[in-house]
């Protein structure tokens, strides 16, 4: 029973203690609980973070690999295109070289020869120079000829003058006008006059050409159609010694005009021709322009109608006479 | 009355008639008397004297009539109306040579005035008698007949055809071979008048074998004959290529070139006409002329004469250069361009200037080399001034404009183009700027020169509609230069700079 009392005395204390100790523990429990929760949450957080980090790492690795793979693909594509382009450029450049050579060759061989053109132009300019020289020479020659001709004409004129004025020559007694005694030496005209031959008194200037228009065959034999000598023989000439005939007789016989016989002189259709001639003359002379009257006139004088008329007249007169005779 | 007194009356009358007719013939030589004579009724008095018994009176009356008809066409018409022509034609066949000459003179004097009068002569049957006169012995008669035929054939193609149908051409070709110079001249002139109208007539003349004789006569020293011969050949050659080739085959080159050095101006003119007519047909004929040295001779000939004489030579150079660029280059190396530019500047007449401008355009239009050769001689400013001047005729303006355009489109010689920037009208400026825009991108020296000579400045000042060709050219020129320089030269840059100065706040320390 002591214990019980003790216990009972202590029970309160124990109860207090009990309560006290529980409540303290409670407080600590909360604290510890919170601490535990904190630790656990932190730990869990670390865990999750580690996990996420891992995931990130793994994802990065995957992405890295994937990106490198796709980058390499692109790079290969680029390289392929670049190499294609380079090759094409090379081919193009080579083709251009070939085309350049070929085109140059073709033009030079078939279409256009530059050196030939140059040569041609040089030849043209040389020909031009040659022609220019030749033409200059030609012009000079012409000028020289003209000058020479002029000089000759002058000379001839002066010569003719000297011959005409030959009387001005100085004689022994009288010095001429070109040979004045006060001069040192005579004028050049004086010398020219000395050299010139005086003109004869009558200069024969017969120079006409006779163009005979032979209008009919009879005119051929007329005296004028034969060429005569320009200077007639002098009238009283001494008879030449020798068996020569008289000159007048000879000339007469030589230049005897043709005297045709009547049969030869008149052509056969003389009458007709004469009539035609007459008609033409009348037509020419006809001052009256009246055509009708002309025709009538022609009609009148034309031989056939005239003859008809005459015949008619004859007939009429015959009839008349017969009738008259009959009546008578 | 005694017989003698009766005869004396007749003698007096004859003397009076002779005197009258001789005086009238003498008075008719002076033009101032002819009016008076016409008013006094000389035609009706002369007409019956044509039928006179005495041949001398007939001849003198015909001569007087011819001189009167020669003076003007009223009198010639009076001759035709007075029914004198049938009379003359009839007696042409009969009478002696003096009368034939006088009658042919009357026919020529009447026929030369107008086609109607010539037709009247043809209608009264004169052609046959004239052709018969061509066969006469006397060269004076032949000359008069050929002259009359030539004047008749001159007017138009139908009359020429009538003359040819009368059979004149072979006889004229025979007349050319006669020794008398005057007859040769007139026959050649008649052939020239016949062949100038149409190719068929020219062919008739050629068929009669005229070319060989004419080609020989080029060497004759008489200058009037040479004129006519060259005229015939050029009239024949102008119609077609075949005729021109036939003329060339007669070996006229290089003899014709000596005629270009003749003293007589018209010989030179006709010779250059002949060469021009040959050169204009085909490039081969032009080539032939160039190879024979004809171009140099023509250029010298142009240099030695003035006025209208030069015109065929200038046209010949244009025709030769027009065919191909090699021929144009041949003209250039024969020193043709300086001569043409001299012609262009010093000739007073517009049509000669127009021809020179056309020829220069034909030379310069082929390649840049040709255009450079033309531009170097400083002709482009002259052409521009002719185009812009109000005094030039329309033809001259048109031709100089075409020449400028065609030369500018090929010209890459920049010193000659620069003056054009300053005073050219807009339609030409377009081409000039275009040429600059083609040359400048490739040539650095030219770019520098362009800037230093003030050309870039001028280009900036040009106002052009955006989107037009001119603006594109200006843009391409501006692209050749750095931006600062373009901005520096753009108009109003100094103003913008000053504005910047105004608006600048200086830093205060």
B96 → closest Cβ in A117, A135, A215: A215
Q: Which residues of A touch B91 (CB under 8 A)?
A: 284
Q: What is the pLDDT of residues A188-218, one digit of tens each?
A: 888 888 888 888 776 555 544 554 444 444 4
Judge: A124–B330 Cβ closer than 8 Å, yes or no.
yes
Contacts of B178 (CB under 8 A, 6+ apart): B139, B142, B184, B187
Place of tokens 């706040």: B505
B300 vs A117, A125, A135: nearest CB: A135
- B284: number of CA atoms within 13 Å, CB side? 5
Counting DSSP H helices and E strands in chain B, the numbers are 35, 0
- Interchain pair A285, B51: CB under 8 A: yes
Q: What pLDDT is stored for residue B210 in this prediction? A: 93
User: Please, is B254 exposed, middle or buried when counting C-beta atoms within 10 Å of its C-beta (0-12, 13-18, 19+)?
Assistant: middle
Per-residue pLDDT, A216: 47
Cβ atoms of A136 and B300 within 8 Å: the answer is no
A297 or B97, which is more confident: B97
Contact residues on chain B for A284, CB-CB shorter than 8 A: 51, 87, 90-91
The closest CB to that of B333, out of A124, A132, A142, belongs to A124
- CA B275 from chain centre, in angstroms, equals 12
Min Cα–Cα distance to chain A from B72, Å: 27
pLDDT score of A219 = 47
Q: State the pTM of this model.
A: 0.72
Structure tokens, B193: 């008048």
pLDDT band at B227 (very low <50, low <70, confident <90, very high): very high
Question: What residues of A are in contact with residue B328 (Cβ under 8 Å)?
Answer: none
User: Please, how many CA atoms are within 13 Å of residue A216, restricted to the half-sphere of its CB?
Assistant: 8
Average pLDDT over every residue of B191-203: 95
How far apart (Å, rounded) are the C-alpha atoms in residues A240 and A29? 207
Percent of chain B with pLDDT over 90: 58
Per-residue pLDDT tens for B78-108? 888 888 888 888 888 777 888 899 999 999 9
Residue A70: C-alpha distances to residues A64, A245, A307, B265, B320 (Å): 10, 152, 143, 95, 74
Provide the CB-side half-sphere exposure for B208 (13 A, CA).
23
Residue A300's pLDDT is what? 60
The segment with the largest mean pLDDT, out of A203-212, B27-36, B68-77, B286-295, is B286-295
Mutate to test the interface with B, among A122, A126, A131 (most CBs of B within 10 A): A131
**Chain A residue with Cα closest to B334:** A125
Pick from A272-276, B273-277, B288-292, B293-297: least confident: A272-276
Range scoring the smallest mean pLDDT among B11-15, B76-80, B285-289: B76-80
What pLDDT score does A287 carry?
A: 63
- The whole-angstrom distance between residue A316's C-alpha and the CA centroid of its chain comes to 87
Residue-wise pLDDT for A40-74, tens only, equals 999 999 999 999 999 999 999 999 999 999 999 99
Inform me whether the C-beta atom of residue B10 falls under 8 Å from chain A C-beta atoms.
Answer: no
Model pLDDT, residue A29: 80
At A328, is the pLDDT very low, low, confident or very high (cuts 50, 70, 90)?
Answer: low
d(CA B500, CA B504): 6
Q: A293 CB near a chain B CB, below 8 Å?
A: no
Residue-level pLDDT at B491: 81
Does residue A19 surpass a pLDDT of 60? yes
Over chain B, what is the mean pLDDT?
A: 90
Q: DSSP letters along B199-263, please?
A: HHHHHHHHHTTHHHHHHHHTT-S-HHHHHHHHHHHHHHHTS-HHHHHHHHHTT-TTHHHHHTT-S
The model's pLDDT over B368-385, given as tens digits with 9 standing for 90+, comes to 999 999 999 999 999 999
The residue to which tokens 């008075």 are assigned:
B27
b (16+ CB within 10 A) / e for B147-163: bbbbbbbbbeeebbbbb
Mean pLDDT of the region B62-73:
88
CB contacts of A139 in chain B (<8 Å) are 261
Q: What residue segments make up the domains of chain A, in order of their start?
A: 1-79, 113-199
Smallest CA–CA distance, residue A315 to chain B, in Å, is: 40
What's the domain range around B448?
A: 421-491
* Long-range contact set of residues B254-259: C-beta below 8 Å, sequence gap at least 24: B254/A131, B254/B292, B254/B293, B254/B294, B255/B215, B255/B218, B255/B219, B256/B218, B256/B230, B256/B294, B257/A131, B257/A135, B257/B292, B257/B293, B257/B294, B257/B297, B258/A135, B258/A138, B259/B218, B259/B226, B259/B230
How many alpha carbons fall within 13 Å on the CB side of residue A16? 6
Q: What is the pLDDT of residue B480?
A: 86
When pLDDT is cut at 50, 70 and 90, the band that residue A306 belongs to is low
Average confidence (pLDDT) over B408-416: 89
CB B232 within 8 A of CB B195: yes
| pLDDT over 50 (residue B116) | yes
Contact B51 A215 (CB under 8 A): no
Rounded to 10 degrees, what is the CA torsion of B283, A106, A125, B226? -20
Interface contact A135, partner B, CB < 8 A: yes
Lowest mean pLDDT among B229-243, B327-341, B445-459: B445-459
Mean pLDDT score, A71-99: 97
On whether any CB of chain B is under 8 Å from the CB of A129, the answer is yes
Task: Indicate if the alpha-carbon torsion angle B271, B275, B278, B284 is positive or negative.
Answer: positive
- Decide if B267 contacts B221 (C-beta within 8 A): no
User: Can you give the pLDDT at residue A235?
Assistant: 65
Task: Give the per-residue pLDDT at B426.
Answer: 83
Distance in Å, alpha carbon of B221 to nearest chain A alpha carbon: 10
Asked whether the beta carbons of B290 and B321 are under 8 A apart, the reply is: no
Number of Cα atoms under 13 Å in the Cβ half of residue B452: 7
Q: Is A224 on the interface with B (CB under 8 A)?
A: no
Identify all chain A residues contacting B97, using CB atoms and an 8 Å cutoff: 211, 213
Interface test with B, best of A116, A124, A214, A216 (most B CBs within 10 A): A124
As given in the structure block, the two tokens for residue A31 are 């604290």
Q: Rounded to whole angstroms, how far apart are CA atoms A263 and B354? A: 80
Mean pLDDT across B423-432 = 86
In the A/B pair of chains, how many CB contacts fall below 8 A? Answer: 65
- Of A123-132, A151-160, B175-184, B478-487, the one with minimum mean pLDDT is B478-487
* Nearest residue in chain B measured CA to CA from A140: B261
pLDDT digits (tens, 9 = 90+) for A141-175: 999 999 999 999 999 999 999 998 888 888 888 88
Residues of chain A in contact with residue B333, where contact means CB-CB under 8 angstroms, are: 121, 124-125
Number of domains in chain B: 1
**CB-based contact, B329 to chain A, within 8 Å:** yes
Instruction: Decide if B293 and A128 are in contact by the 8 Å CB cutoff.
Output: yes
With contact defined as beta carbons under 8 Å apart, do B389 and B344 qualify?
A: no
User: A209 contacts in B (CB within 8 Å)?
Assistant: none
The interface pTM score, or ipTM, of the predicted complex is 0.81
Q: What pLDDT is attached to residue B208?
A: 93
* Average pLDDT for A221-226: 50
From the list B87, B258, B295, the residue facing A138 with the nearest CB is B258
DSSP letter for each residue of B386-408: HHH-TTS-HHHHHHHHHHHHHHH
Question: Which of A9-13, A290-294, B41-45 is predicted least confidently?
Answer: A290-294
Q: Look at residue A9 and tell me whether its pLDDT is greater than 80.
A: no
Q: DSSP alpha helices (H): ranges in B50-156?
A: 55-71, 73-81, 84-94, 97-111, 115-123, 126-133, 139-153
What does the DSSP assignment read for A250-300? HHHHHTPPP---HHHHS-TTHHHHHHHHHHHHHHHH-----HHHHHHHHHH
Residues B263, A215: C-beta atoms closer than 8 Å: no
B326 shares contact with chain A (CB less than 8 Å): yes
């Amino acid at each position: 029973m002591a214990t019980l009392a003790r216990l009972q005395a202590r029970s309160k204390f124990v109860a207090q203690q009990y309560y006290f100790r529980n409540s303290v523990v409670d407080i600590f429990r909360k604290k510890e609980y919170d601490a535990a929760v904190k630790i656990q949450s932190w730990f869990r957080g670390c865990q999750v973070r580690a996990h996420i980090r891992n995931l990130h790492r793994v994802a990065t690795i995957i992405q890295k690999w994937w990106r490198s793979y796709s980058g390499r693909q692109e790079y290969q594509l680029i390289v392929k295109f670049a190499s294609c382009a380079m090759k094409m450029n090379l081919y193009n450049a080579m083709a251009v070289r070939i085309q350049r050579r070929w085109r140059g060759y073709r033009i030079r061989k078939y279409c256009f020869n530059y050196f030939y053109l140059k040569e041609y132009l040089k030849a043209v300019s040389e020909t031009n120079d040659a022609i220019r020289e030749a033409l200059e020479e030609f012009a000079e020659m012409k000028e020289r000829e003209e000058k020479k001709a002029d000089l000759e004409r002058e000379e001839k004129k002066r010569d003719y003058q000297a011959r005409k004025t030959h009387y001005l020559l100085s004689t022994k007694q009288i010095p001429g006008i070109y040979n004045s005694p006060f001069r040192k030496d005579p004028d050049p005209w004086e010398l020219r006059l000395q050299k010139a031959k005086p003109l004869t008194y009558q200069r024969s200037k017969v120079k006409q050409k006779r163009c005979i228009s032979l209008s009919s065959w009879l005119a051929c034999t007329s005296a004028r159609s034969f060429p005569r000598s320009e200077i007639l023989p002098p009238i009283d000439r001494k008879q030449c010694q020798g068996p020569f005939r008289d000159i007048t007789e000879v000339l007469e016989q030589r230049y005897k005009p043709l005297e045709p016989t009547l049969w030869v002189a008149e052509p056969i259709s003389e009458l007709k021709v004469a009539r035609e001639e007459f008609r033409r003359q009348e037509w020419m002379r006809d001052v009256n322009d009246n055509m009708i009257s002309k025709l009538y006139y022609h009609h009148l004088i034309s031989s056939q109608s005239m003859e008809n008329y005459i015949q008619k007249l004859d007939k009429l007169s015959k009839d008349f006479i017969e009738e008259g005779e009959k009546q008578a | 009355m005694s017989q003698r007194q009766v005869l004396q009356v007749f003698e007096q009358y004859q003397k009076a008639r002779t005197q009258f007719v001789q005086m009238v013939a003498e008075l008719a030589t002076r033009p101032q008397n002819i009016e008076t004579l016409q008013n006094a009724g000389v035609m009706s008095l002369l007409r019956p004297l044509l039928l006179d018994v005495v041949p001398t009176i007939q001849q003198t009356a015909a001569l007087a009539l011819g001189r009167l008809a020669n003076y003007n066409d009223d009198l010639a018409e009076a001759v035709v109306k007075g029914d004198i022509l049938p009379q003359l034609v009839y007696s042409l066949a009969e009478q002696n040579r003096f009368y034939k000459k006088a009658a042919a003179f009357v026919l020529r004097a009447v026929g030369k005035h107008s086609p109607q009068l010539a037709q009247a002569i043809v209608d009264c049957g004169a052609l046959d008698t004239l052709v018969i006169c061509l066969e006469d012995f006397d060269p004076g008669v032949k000359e008069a007949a050929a002259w009359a035929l030539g004047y008749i054939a001159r007017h138009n193609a139908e009359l020429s055809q009538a003359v040819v149908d009368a059979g004149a051409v072979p006889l004229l070709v025979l007349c050319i071979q006669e020794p008398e110079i005057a007859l040769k001249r007139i026959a050649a002139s008649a052939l020239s008048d016949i062949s100038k109208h149409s190719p068929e007539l020219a062919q008739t003349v050629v068929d009669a074998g005229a070319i060989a004789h004419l080609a020989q006569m080029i060497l004759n020293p008489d200058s009037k004959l040479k004129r006519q011969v060259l005229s015939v050949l050029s009239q024949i050659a102008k119609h077609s290529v075949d005729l021109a080739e036939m003329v060339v085959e007669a070996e006229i080159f290089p003899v014709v070139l000596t005629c270009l050095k003749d003293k007589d101006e018209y010989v030179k003119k006709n010779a250059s006409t002949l060469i021009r007519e040959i050169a204009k047909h085909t490039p081969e004929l032009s080539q032939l002329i160039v190879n024979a040295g004809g171009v140099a001779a023509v250029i010298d000939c142009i240099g030695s004469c003035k006025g209208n004489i030069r015109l065929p030579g200038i046209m010949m150079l244009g025709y030769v250069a027009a065919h191909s660029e090699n021929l144009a280059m041949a003209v250039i190396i024969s020193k043709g361009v300086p001569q043409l530019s001299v012609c262009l500047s010093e000739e007073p007449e517009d049509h000669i200037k127009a021809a020179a401008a056309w020829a220069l355009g034909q030379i310069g239009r082929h390649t840049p080399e040709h255009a450079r050769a033309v531009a170097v001689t400083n002709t482009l400013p002259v052409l521009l001034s002719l185009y812009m001047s109000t005094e030039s005729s329309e033809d001259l303006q048109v031709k100089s404009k075409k020449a400028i355009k065609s030369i500018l489109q090929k010209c890459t010689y920049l010193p000659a183009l620069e003056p054009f920037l300053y005073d050219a009208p807009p339609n030409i400026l377009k081409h000039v700027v275009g040429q600059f825009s083609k040359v400048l991108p490739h040539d650095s020296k030219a770019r520098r020169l362009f800037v230093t000579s003030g050309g870039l400045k001028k280009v900036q000042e040009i106002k052009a509609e955006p989107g037009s060709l001119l603006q594109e050219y200006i843009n391409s020129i501006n692209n050749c230069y750095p931006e600062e320089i373009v901005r520096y030269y753009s108009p109003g840059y100094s103003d913008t700079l000053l504005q910047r100065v105004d608006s600048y706040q200086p830093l205060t320390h």
